[in-house]
Amino acid sequence: MKRQLVLMMAAAVTASGVLAGAQRQTQPPAPTPQTAAPGQGDSKSAKVADQAFVKDAAMGGMAEVELGKLASQKASNPQVKAFGQRMVTDHGQAGEELKSLAASKQIVLSTSIDSKHQAVHDRLAKLSGAEFDRAYITEMIAGHKKVAADFNEESVSGNDSDVKAWAAKTLPTVREHLRMVEELDKDLSARPIN
């Protein structure tokens, strides 16, 4: 029920969130002398879910920056180029904020994009012109829909107040990106492929 990886973003979160939730619902911890205070298992699962969100958001943000750089170079449509540059700027800034937050929570973040995001980058890098523009915009729509849902979930249901606040603060920007890219999609769809 919790998070999935977007394109940029969280299959691992879904698996950990669903498994953690299923465990709590179907296998309550048996009382033993080693069991700590009631609810400790839940707080541990909540902490893991918040950490997974931070890691996935950081990975997705890094991927957005890399894809934005690619769009700034390869897009044929000036609006797509500008959108790519906006992704570099906005996701770069959000990424720096998230790095600081992660460091304060002792969450270790990856310094490079994972193989899933690299595969998307590599696929888009082989395209050019209008074909690149449309493929990039399609990726951005799918990714931002997923990220918006994940950030909304964290901002409502997150357990770490700092992570929850960061997700709530960043969510309007993600929604603005989604609105922008959906408008770009309408513009591109109205134009014939050369």
Q: What is the pLDDT of residue 97?
A: 96
> What is the tens place of the pLDDT at every residue in 141-178?
999 999 999 999 999 999 999 999 999 999 999 999 99
Name which of 27-36, 65-74, 83-92, 137-146 the model is least confident about. Answer: 27-36
172-185: average pLDDT: 96
pLDDT digits (tens, 9 = 90+) for 113-146: 999 999 999 999 999 999 999 999 999 999 999 9
The answer to whether residue 188 scores a pLDDT higher than 90 is no
- The model's pLDDT over 100-109, given as tens digits with 9 standing for 90+, comes to 999 999 999 9
Domain extents in the chain:
11-189
Return the pLDDT at 191: 67
11-189 classified as CATH 1.20.1260.10? yes
Contact 24, 41 (CB under 8 A): yes
Distance CA 119, CA 117 (A): 5
Task: Kindly report the backbone phi and psi dihedral angles of residue 110, in degrees, each rounded to the nearest multiple of 5, phi listed first.
Answer: -70, 150
List Cα–Cα distances, 69 to 33, 59, 84, 94, 179, in angstroms: 55, 16, 6, 16, 20
